[in-house]
Amino acid sequence: MKSDGSDRAGGAVTVEIEDIAEPATFSRLPDAVAALWEALRVLPLGWTQYEAYRHFLGPGAVRRVEESIERDGELSLSFRLAGRLHLVRIAPADRAGPAGGRGRSA
């Protein structure tokens, strides 16, 4: 049986879009990835950034995110908006750092 990553994506994760959205904690990785993609896709990112984020967070991306978390401890990306870089991060909730404890839970 092919997995979408939801059965292996154990534990809560915290997502954050620096200076755009407060950190939020989700009990399941697929829900976190979907929420992060929904938040990012409406931003005026431009075609190249939009397509890059669609690859990392769009349909079918749970496995890529999970592999990044397993390999690097988190998925950390950035984008430029209004002349400034913003960090996008998905990390296990227990390793999300100081920002991880401030967010809402979903």
Residue 10 pLDDT level (bands cut at 50, 70, 90):
low
pLDDT score at 105: 43
Residue 3 pLDDT level (bands cut at 50, 70, 90):
very low
Does the CA dihedral 54-35-16-3 come out positive or negative?
Answer: negative
Query: What pTM value is reported for the model?
Result: 0.77
pLDDT score at 97: 58
Residue 1 lies in a domain: no
pLDDT digits (tens, 9 = 90+) for 22-69: 999 999 999 999 999 999 999 999 899 999 999 989 888 999 999 999
Beta strands across the sheet bearing 13-17: 75-81, 84-92, 13-17, 21-26, 104-105
Residue 88 lies in a domain: yes
Number of domains in the chain: 1
At residue 97, φ and ψ (nearest 5 deg) are 80, -170
Domain boundaries, position 34: 13-95
Mean per-residue pLDDT, 74-78: 94
Alpha helices of the chain — where are they, by DSSP H? Answer: 29-41, 47-57, 62-72
Residue 106 lies in a domain: no
Residue 47 lies in a domain: yes
Residue 79 lies in a domain: yes
Q: In whole angstroms, what is the distance from residue 88 CA to residue 91 CA?
A: 10
pLDDT score at 93: 93
Residue 38 lies in a domain: yes
